[in-house]
Amino acid sequence: MIEKITKYLQQFKDQLSDWKINISKTEGREIYLIGNTVDMARVKNIENVRLTVYKDFKHQAKTCRGSASTIIHPTMNDSEMEETIQKAIYAAGFVKNEHFPIVNHVVCINYPGGSSTPLQELTEIMPRWIQEILEPSQEMNGVSINSAELFLNLKEETILNSKGLSVNFIQPSISIECITQAQGLQEEIELNDDIRLADLKEGILKSKIMQLLRYTHDRSKAVLLPKVDEVPVILSGDCVGDLLQYYLHRLSARFIHENISDTDIGENIQGDQVEGDLITLYLDPQLPGSYYSRPFDTDGFPLHRFRLIHQGAVERYWGDIQYSHYIHTAPTGQWCNISVESGSSTLQQMKAEPFLEITHFSDFQTDYITGDFGGEIRLGYYFDGSRLQPVYGGSIAGNLKKIHHQMTLSKEKRLLKKYYGPCSIKLKGVNVAGNI
Amino acid sequence: MQVAYSSFLSATKPLLIKMLDVLSQDYPYVSILGTDVAGNTYAVRSQSVQINDAHWVERGWVVRVHNGEHYAEYSFNNLSEHSFLSTIQLIRYDLNHTLELLKNSNIPIHPYSPFEESSMRSRWEGEIAIDPFSIDSSEKIERLNTIKQKAHELSQSLISFGAIFQEIKTSKCYLSNQKDLEQAWIHTEGYLIPIVKRNGVSRSIFKGFSGRKGYEIMDEMEKALGSTLDEAELLLDAEPLKQGEYDIICSPDVTGLIAHEAFGHGVEMDMFVKNRAKAQDYMDKTIASPLVEMHDGARAAEHVSSYWFDDEGIPGQDTVIIQKGKLTGGITDLLSSIRLKISPTGNGKRQSYAHKAYARMTNTFFSPGHHSLEEMISSIDYGILLESSQSGMEDPKNWGIQCVVTYGKEISKGQLTGKIFSPVIMTGYVPDLLQSISMVSRDFELYGTGACGKGYKELVKVSTGGPYIKAKAKLV
């Protein structure tokens, strides 16, 4: 199919300036469990091709670069493919964007960081993955697996462009949505987790399921969060990475170009009078062991680690080749994994005084424009100075911009999806809505 | 005008019938869902313009087989006369091998009896006022550009603005030994996204437009520009809300968020199969105020999730979920209906041909009542009018609520004071909220922008809405 597409691109070469093709082939196996029984098995074999065309033209004495992207289905016949490409080229002529370059001549076939684990091998060990989901609950009393969905995918990505770019990489991925249950103090309760693995080593999934079951046990002993006044809040779990993404977005070339962020280089992003920990943050696209790590962004730009914030001071922006060009900064590529350096306090020190630690939210939300964050509590731990009690219900709301001068980061670090860094953050001044 | 059914799906139908015949030699039951979704997104922002394919674009098939004991599925998107036999071989090998692997590992597989389909043949093509695909892309960009320029003229606080238009044409076919179904429709979506800033404080708002509508949705966007900018500027003066229990009035979009998140997910009956829904213990019991009537269904309303048949070939319908405060029904996909021994309701939806079908909402709403908004406001001594829904999260097992609303307007002594609180999170227990509903307005609106997930994935189009409702809720 690529030959056909490039044939048409060659045919229309006078009407376009550049092009890019993103091809992704996914072979997958899916298992849906209810209790310890398979409800359904699914197989997936799909190929997606996206073509982006770039067209340079003059508008009011300025050189513009228009672009338009379109999906090319493998089942398109010649005339449909030709018409689709022509329409995209025509549309690109109305996109009056400032000119920007595309990635120039990177050739990397079979990226060495990728995996060559064949799908056949992934499929053959599928029963092992199911056992790793089901076995831990046999070792714990009172908690069990309600249901789980297991997705084993082998994805091959190829990116080509008219400047000679040609990269190809294969990544296996395992994702599991797991629901656990237990009898609570008043009724049955459940917790869920969306587990993503890039590391296929035996036992890793089992340990994550075990951890979820332990949390489920705690949730079964939890009471409604009482009314609490001005207690420091400790965030733990996936919400830590979500919250710290606020800083990444503030430094995004797109946010800067679109005036959504006015953060300056050299600025102390937490303000000038910081009483807590100063943040040091890296754009870290290839976090070891992360499901979300990858070697190139969707433009084919090679991804590397960059320090963006050092001890609270902004060192540089980040972004794709287009928006970085617009704000006159070197591109880093567009991928949102981050790592953050350790803070000053151990978890034990953080928990020496009364606190509310929240490990699970219904849906933790952070507004990257305003800094507002919050959510309803599914599982937390309240320490009133003498007793630690698992709690649920109630919610928190706060604004990171107003309180990050008093933020404490833990010394202990953890990998959480797109984030590697302090596993907990302690915040003061968060509005906690408990139950009367 | 009538929306034309996909010529691609028509052209490949003989090959699919052949596939059905060949696979039926191996499997007692075979069905094929074919999809062809085309569409574009036009986005004009303050500093840039984009034209891309729409998020929902797809073209492919999913084969479902029953091997006498179990159901299994194969999703693919490449098929030709040339590759026909090899595709058949792959489907057979991969499905049989996967099931055998599970059996040989002593992992139990749930036995299903095959679904008895009744014979059905039909084609349904939706109606549209102005076909957006007939309008030149230059005009769409120009019109969005005009909206953007006007926005910058109207608001001094505006730092960034986005105007987005999306057109989607969906065609689907469903073939089995008993069924030959085809359908096509168009829906459009529009978005106005201003970001304003004053004295170092930034606020953004998102105004969506959607429906089984055509290019005319641009008119709605243009008309709403002024009020959208006013709302964004109002937010600059917003204060945080003091936590507590309040008398509240929900605008139709917030009412829809409650219908969808607080209750709708809890009556998706695949949750009953997994024993994950509290609602299954409350069937035919009173769970809401007698003023409450709630519906879901592809044919309950004309909006972005209206269709003739679902992704399992079951005709859509209008399901009454709550009537006079009593829980009367749930919504189900095909496999859940087999397990629960009930009739399917036409709610089996997939994110795409490459995803599994689940029990999903379609158009979900509370029915209108008899009060006016003015009567509702004047009945409140102190409370909050909640407007502009943002997000929510379901909790079918324990009926917890989390609804995030962009802002609330203060009501004092029966009048709006002009004071604004933002953002507002509503939490609590679903039956407490539904039973506290004391007034329901005559208004009725549906909203269908964005997408609904199940857990953290499986995005599908839905619409939600209803009237203004007055209730009591915990806010923070």
Asked if pLDDT for residue A112 goes beyond 80, the answer is no
Residue A272 contacts B where some CB pair is shorter than 8 Å: no
Query: Which of A220-224, B174-178, B426-430 shows the lowest mean pLDDT across its residues?
Result: B426-430
Asked if A158 contacts A1 with a C-beta cutoff of 8 angstroms, the reply is no
Q: Degrees (nearest 5) of the Cα angle A91, A92, A98?
A: 145
How sure is the predictor about A436, in pLDDT bands with cuts at 50, 70 and 90? low
Residue A340 CB neighbour total at 10 angstroms:
23
Q: Identify the pLDDT of residue A19.
A: 97
Looking up tokens 């080229």 gives A89
| Distance (Å, whole) CA A340 – CA A309 | 9
Task: Give the three-class secondary structure for B161.
Answer: strand
DSSP letter for each residue of A128-192: HHHHHHHHHHHTSSSEEEEEEEEEEEEEEEEEEETTS-EEEEEEEEEEEEEEEEEE-SSSEEEEE
Q: Identify the pLDDT of residue A117.
A: 63
A362-396 pLDDT per residue, tens: 889 999 999 999 988 999 999 999 999 999 988 89
Asked if pLDDT for residue A113 goes beyond 60, the answer is no
Say yes or no: A369 and A409 in one domain. Answer: yes
Say yes or no: A110 and A214 in one domain. Answer: yes
Chain A residues whose beta carbon lies within 8 Å of the beta carbon of residue B74: 42-45
Q: Domain ends where: A185, A220, A255?
A: A220
Say yes or no: A273 and A199 in one domain. Answer: no
Asked if B235 contacts B163 with a C-beta cutoff of 8 angstroms, the reply is no
Asked if pLDDT for residue B79 goes beyond 90, the answer is yes
Asked if A228 contacts A434 with a C-beta cutoff of 8 angstroms, the reply is yes
Chain B residues whose beta carbon lies within 8 Å of the beta carbon of residue A29: 98
Task: Tell me the sheet residues that pair with A283.
Answer: A306, A338
B281-297 pLDDT per residue, tens: 999 999 999 999 999 99
Average pLDDT (A209-223) is 97
| Distance (Å, whole) CA B301 – CA B307 | 10
Residue A362 contacts B where some CB pair is shorter than 8 Å: yes
Give the B window 292-331 contacts with A, CB below 8 Å. Answer: none
Task: Give the three-class secondary structure for A50.
Answer: strand
Structure tokens at A58: 């003059």
Q: What percent of chain B has pLDDT over 70?
A: 100
How sure is the predictor about A140, in pLDDT bands with cuts at 50, 70 and 90? confident
Asked if pLDDT for residue A110 goes beyond 60, the answer is no
How sure is the predictor about A111, in pLDDT bands with cuts at 50, 70 and 90? low
How sure is the predictor about A116, in pLDDT bands with cuts at 50, 70 and 90? low
Count of residues making up chain B = 476
Cβ within 8 Å, pair B98-A40: no
Say yes or no: A162 and A207 in one domain. Answer: yes
Residue B401 contacts A where some CB pair is shorter than 8 Å: yes
Give the A window 55-94 contacts with B, CB below 8 Å. Answer: 66-71, 73-75, 80, 87-88, 90-94
Task: Give the three-class secondary structure for B97.
Answer: helix
Say yes or no: A252 and A172 in one domain. Answer: no
Q: How far is B7 from chain A (nearest CA, A)?
A: 11
Task: Tell me the sheet residues that pair with B76.
Answer: A45, B61
Helix (H), strand (E) at residue A245 = helix A238-250
Total of domains in chain A = 2
Q: What percent of chain A has pLDDT over 90?
A: 84
Residue A417 CB neighbour total at 10 angstroms:
16
Asked if B152 contacts B46 with a C-beta cutoff of 8 angstroms, the reply is yes
Helix (H), strand (E) at residue B122 = strand B120-125
Say yes or no: A262 and A329 in one domain. Answer: yes
**Cis before B423 (ω within 30):** yes
Q: How far is B371 from chain A (nearest CA, A)?
A: 32
Q: Counting Cβ atoms within 10 Å, is residue B342 exposed (0-12), middle (13-18) or buried (19+)?
A: middle
Q: Identify the pLDDT of residue A35.
A: 95
A243-258 pLDDT per residue, tens: 999 999 999 999 999 9
Say yes or no: A52 and A70 in one domain. Answer: yes
- The reply to whether ipTM tops 0.85 is yes
Q: What is the mean pLDDT of chain A?
A: 93
Q: What percent of chain A has pLDDT over 70?
A: 97
Cβ within 8 Å, pair A431-B240: yes
Chain B residues whose beta carbon lies within 8 Å of the beta carbon of residue A225: none
Say yes or no: A183 and A310 in one domain. Answer: no
CATH code where residue A26 lies: 3.30.2290.10
Structure tokens at A375: 């959510």
Task: Give the three-class secondary structure for A63.
Answer: strand
Say yes or no: A72 and A186 in one domain. Answer: yes
Give the B window 165-204 contacts with A, CB below 8 Å. Answer: 195, 201-204
Chain A residues whose beta carbon lies within 8 Å of the beta carbon of residue B141: 94-95
Structure tokens at B171: 């065609």
Asked if pLDDT for residue B329 goes beyond 90, the answer is yes
Buried b (16+ CB within 10 A) or exposed e, B46-81: bebbbbbbbebbbbbbbbbbbbeebbbbbbbbbbee
Q: Identify the pLDDT of residue A277.
A: 97
Cβ within 8 Å, pair B456-A69: no
Structure tokens at A159: 């990116």
- What residue ranges define each of the domains in chain B, with the CATH number in brackets? 7-36+56-117 (no CATH), 125-235 (3.30.2290.10), 244-475 (no CATH)
Q: Which of A69, A189, A257 sits opposite B52 (nearest CB)?
A: A69
Q: What is the mean pLDDT of chain B?
A: 95
| Distance (Å, whole) CA B304 – CA B167 | 12
Give B445's contacts (C-beta < 8 A, 6+ positions apart). Answer: B252, B253, B465, B466
Q: What residue type is assigned to position B230 of the chain?
A: D
Query: Which of A118-132, B84-98, B227-241 shows the lowest mean pLDDT across its residues?
Result: A118-132
Q: Identify the pLDDT of residue A122.
A: 78
Say yes or no: A364 and A309 in one domain. Answer: yes
Q: Counting Cβ atoms within 10 Å, is residue A321 exposed (0-12), middle (13-18) or buried (19+)?
A: buried
The pairing of beta strand A281-283 with beta strand A306-310: antiparallel
Residue B57 contacts A where some CB pair is shorter than 8 Å: yes
Domain assignment of residue A259, given as a range: 224-433
Task: Tell me the sheet residues that pair with B62.
Answer: B33, B75
DSSP letter for each residue of B400-465: EEEEEEEEEEEEETTEEEEEEE-SEEEEEEHHHHHHT--EEBS--EEE--S-EEETTEEEE--EEE
Alpha-carbon dihedral B45, B51, B55, B57, rounded to 10 degrees? 160
Q: Identify the pLDDT of residue B444.
A: 97
Q: How far is A245 from chain B (nearest CA, A)?
A: 18
Residue B405 CB neighbour total at 10 angstroms:
26
Asked if B181 contacts B313 with a C-beta cutoff of 8 angstroms, the reply is yes
Q: How far is A300 from chain B (nearest CA, A)?
A: 18
Average pLDDT (B446-461) is 91
Asked if A376 contacts B425 with a C-beta cutoff of 8 angstroms, the reply is yes
Average pLDDT (A166-184) is 93
Q: Domain ends where: A176, A191, A220?
A: A220
Cβ within 8 Å, pair B78-A95: no
Say yes or no: A172 and A266 in one domain. Answer: no
Asked if pLDDT for residue A115 goes beyond 70, the answer is no
Q: Measured between alpha carbons, how far is residue A250 from residues A258, A270, B177 in Å?
A: 11, 12, 56
Q: Identify the pLDDT of residue B456.
A: 79
Residue A343 CB neighbour total at 10 angstroms:
24
A220-240 pLDDT per residue, tens: 999 999 988 789 999 999 999
DSSP letter for each residue of B19-48: HHHHHHTT-SEEEEEEEEEEEEEEEEESS-
Residue A230 contacts B where some CB pair is shorter than 8 Å: no
Chain B residues whose beta carbon lies within 8 Å of the beta carbon of residue A85: none
The residue ranking higher by pLDDT, B463 or A173, is: B463
| Distance (Å, whole) CA B448 – CA B253 | 10
| B434 phi/psi in degrees, rounded to 5 | -65, -35
Q: Domain ends where: A220, A244, A262?
A: A220
Q: Which of A36, A46, A68 sits opposite B60 (nearest CB)?
A: A46
Q: Identify the pLDDT of residue A124.
A: 86
| Distance (Å, whole) CA A215 – CA A392 | 12
- The dihedral sign for the CA sequence A431, A226, B432, A190: positive
Average pLDDT (A187-204) is 90
Q: How far is B445 from chain A (nearest CA, A)?
A: 26
Say yes or no: A77 and A183 in one domain. Answer: yes
Q: Counting Cβ atoms within 10 Å, is residue B119 exposed (0-12), middle (13-18) or buried (19+)?
A: exposed
Q: How far is B121 from chain A (nearest CA, A)?
A: 26
